[in-house]
Structure 1
Amino acid sequence: MKDYIFSNDFYKNIDAMVLNSGNEVCAPSHAYGPAVRSSYMIHYIRKGKGIYVCGGKTYHLSANDAFLIKPGERIYYEADAQDPWEYTWIGMQGVKIESYLKRTSIFDDYVFSYPPHTELLAFHERLEEANRSWGMNQDLRFNGILYEYLYALCRAFPKADPGDVLKKEAYLEEILVYIENNFDQPISVGHISEMMALDRTYIHKIFKRKMGMSIKEYIVQIRMTTACSLLRYTNLSISDISRSVGYADVLYFSKSFRQKKGCSPSEYRTQKQTRTPSV
């Protein structure tokens, strides 16, 4: 199970992040699929022609057109045999990406065209330049460009009424922030439900759909991730660590830790603190 944590680390950001980006000059009839992607992607066609197949429809696209790929949806795209396309793409992931894209009309349309004299193409170019000059704080650079790009998409392709989407996104963020600030306390789904004055079944569905796990599972995951860090990098006693991650009963903490990690807290500490770093 993947650890979801609040972090500015490029590879652990659960909010929104650039997964990959690039540019490709395709050979005649070059194709991808049929297959599914694991993240959202937007391909912009710089020149040439091709087809995009999604949702049982075939779209014939050319220069200045773009197409959206959604995770888990079966897609196929192929460059024209006579005039193959060159495209640039942005891949993105995070728990907020879907809600951000749902603020635009492109989420339902799948294919669209960049408006004349748009700033949108500049973001592809900025990502390409960032890829060529990798350095410190690159996570902030990539993600800064992504947020600007998403904002530009919302301006260029506004959706009439994204209210319900924004409301659910706000609820999810409130839950995540509350857990992050209170996981060392005896919190539960009931506590969160009362704090937000919302039905517990409703917030459970919102959370499970976005995060792929229940609120209870997420709380345990945050606690165990923090416990592992404390075991490895501090000399705090097991009981101190137990209380620091929300377990008043150290025996229950040890039992839960063993269930998740396959060893006791003491065994985990010994394994991690005595491991010789690889060169």
Structure 2
Amino acid sequence: MKKIALCEFDPTKYGQLMSVDVVDIESFRDYLWENPVYGTNYYSIYLITHSTEMLEVDGKSVPARPGMIVCSRPGELWRWEEQSRQEGEYLYWTDDFLNSFFRDPHFIDSFTFFQAGRSSSFLYPDARLFRRLLALFSQMREEIASKKLNEAQHILRAMVYETLMLLERANNIPPTKDMDYSRTSYYINEFQKLAQTHYKKERHVEYYAGRLYITSNYLNKIVRQSLGISTKQYLSNLLYNEAERLLKYTTLTINDIASELGLDTAYFIKVFRQKKSITPLQYRNENLRK
């Protein structure tokens, strides 16, 4: 399985020490495409303005929709769809930005949506509250853009505190069986897309589990539950369905077809015969007569 990336706060991004930032999620696009799964070392609040995708945070997965808010603590795992096109505004800050000012290391834990034991990281505010938060984020971006960062720190701290107070009015989205089903569906859909692209070269379950950042056992379990066959059998079916297509509709030689499928010719003939009870050449000749 691939090592999970850590997205870290850059305190020197603006040339002066800063422990808070607000950005358009577009500025993260390259990172998200390279690392669709990652952990963070900061707190964050993400206002979603456009999405038709699934999003997972801290093991909970939901359909991400405009108007939704995501709250994340340091160390929690984010999982985006590959080449995600989500849009939104992203506020994030280091642990000491608020806690040191309020002289309380547990200050942030007083907010229910940031408590370690909360049931979900996702919030649904009403439209009016969401617009107010967007406006507040915009003001924070203007303060940062002013380049008067030493003066802006206190103003930004007050704005972040206001954001936290406003979020207490939003409704928490509890995890449900439907969401668990959506999470499974997401993994199955992503596995099938990966399999269609890579089945000729990658036939090990570990490869696909690694690409999805889940264990091989979990992938095997959900594939069997959802598709009724094992992961290996699904990949094998793709391979030999393609073999049948090439035998029926092309004039490629048996050697060429085996090479196209990434197989040794002798092995291809042997396994094809086990599956169809006839050799590839016999299969081709039978289908030519039809």
Settle same-fold status: TM greater than 0.5. Answer: no
1 or 2, which has the higher helix percentage? Answer: 2
Task: Identify the TM-score tier after normalising by the shorter chain.
Answer: 0.3 to 0.5
TM-score w.r.t. the length of structure 2 is 0.39
TM-score w.r.t. the length of structure 1 is 0.40
Which of the two has higher C-alpha Rg? 2
